[in-house]
Amino acid sequence: MAKLYFHIFFLILSNSLIEDVYSTATFTFVNKCKFTVWPGILSNAGISPLSTTGFALNTGESRIINAPTAWGGRFWGRTHCSEDSTGKFSCATGDCGSGKLECAGGGAVTPVTLAEFTLDGDAGKDFYDLSLVDGFNLPMLVAPQGGSGVNCSRAECVADLNGECAPELRVTSAGGERVACRSACDAFRSEEYCCSGAYGKPAACKPSKYAETFKRACPQAYSYAYDDLTSTFTCIGADYIITFCPSPNTSRKSTSGSGGGQNPVSVAGGSNTPFDGNMVYEGALDVSSAASTCAHVVGGGVAVVAAMWRLSQLY
Ligand SMILES: *[C@@H]1O[C@H](CO)[C@@H](O)[C@H](O)[C@H]1NC(C)=O
Ligand SMILES: *[C@@H]1O[C@H](CO)[C@@H](O)[C@H](O)[C@H]1NC(C)=O
């Protein structure tokens, strides 16, 4: 009898932890906005989707998602989302067109702040960046945990570009709130702004005054297509915390007052939105790398024991 319990115990443990063993990185999404954010996830072409492609993240919540070896794709935050009377889910910014909470292969409608990743690329490095090439909707921070490398550092765009947005680039909600800021490429579609055609080379495509405004506010984010030198980060062996609305840095002049994206938003679908609470760690805002590294080690150890046990069942 004791043996049976032992077997059941390991069966449960191995099934719940085995996912960790095959992941090279964990992404921890944290929402510090004063409103709900619905992260969207799109894998690159030919790369399998992660365990979720879209979910709700309430204020103060965090959620951990594992990524397998060599995963590549992008993350963004959807805002002002709700379900209509027919159950169709849509968002004022970052909408992925699926009509559902999960994006299921849909990319974000511009303008949107993007966090882009290619894990285990050249020389085993993870490549990542924050991009405003498709515009801005939310301040974001990518903070590597426990990795190594000279460019293994925080990429952040803390400024509220919705408040600072030029009138010709502004996107406002039905209620008049500024919810996003378009990039010049997105707004004007010219080769010059999009670095295409005759401007399709780094030497030919210079940042526009719009791109320069983005760059001043968010020096570590891509402001236009060839902004690589100051915007591409690399780590080896890191996990990543992705924070929406990271705390404003007090050393930075805050854009005062109204019209910013920081205002609380009443969201119609807030309570009846389909919500997978399975992996949400409420209030666990300070997720240390030690904890996730530990989970990897424990998960790996258990999986080895479980594999041995499974093998033993063959004989
Ligand atoms: C990467 O490191 C190099 C050398 O320290 C530095 O010149 C460069 O600006 C760094 N890149 C980023 C995006 O910080
Ligand atoms: C705020 O900015 C200062 C100076 O740029 C930097 O040293 C500090 O780490 C920043 N703090 C946060 C929380 O980003």
Q: Whose CA is nearest to atom 9 of ligand 1?
A: 230
Task: Express each pLDDT in 142-174 by its tens digit.
Answer: 999 999 999 999 999 999 999 999 999 999 998
CA distance 96 to 102: 9
Nearest 10 degrees: CA dihedral of 16, 22, 25, 27? -40
Mutate to test the pocket of ligand 2, among 249, 252, 254, 286 (most ligand atoms within 8 A of CB): 249
Q: Among the bound ligands, name the one nearest to the CA of residue 228.
A: 1
Domains observed in the chain:
26-269 (2.60.110.10)
Q: For the residues 170-195, what does the mean pLDDT come to?
A: 96
224 C-alpha vs ligand 1 centroid, how far in Å? Answer: 18
Evaluate if residue 315 carries a pLDDT over 80.
no
Q: Which of 9-18, 145-154, 262-271 has the lowest mean pLDDT?
A: 262-271
- Nearest C-alpha to atom 7 of ligand 2 is from which residue? 251
pLDDT band at 133 (very low <50, low <70, confident <90, very high): very high
The predicted pLDDT at position 299 comes to: 38
Q: What pLDDT does residue 166 have? A: 96
Within a 10 A sphere around the Cβ of 146, how many other Cβ atoms?
A: 15
CA-nearest residue, atom 3 of ligand 2: 251
- For residue 270, the model assigns a pLDDT of 33
For a pocket test of ligand 1, which of 131, 151, 215 has the largest count of ligand atoms closer than 8 A to its C-beta?
Answer: 151
Which is nearest to 145 in space by CA: 133, 136, 157, 154? 154
Residue 213 has pLDDT above 70, yes or no: yes
d(CA 111, CA 120): 28
Of residues 284 and 208, the one with the higher pLDDT is 208
- Tell whether ligand 2 has an atom less than 6 A from the beta carbon of residue 251: yes
Report the atom number in ligand 2 closest to the C-alpha of 249: 1
Query: Is the pLDDT at 247 greater than 70, yes or no?
Result: yes
Q: 92-122, pLDDT tens digit by residue?
A: 999 999 999 999 999 999 999 999 999 999 9
| Amino acid 35: pLDDT | 96
According to the model, what pLDDT value does residue 248 have? 61
C-alpha 251 to ligand 2 mean position (Å): 7
Mean pLDDT of the chain: 80
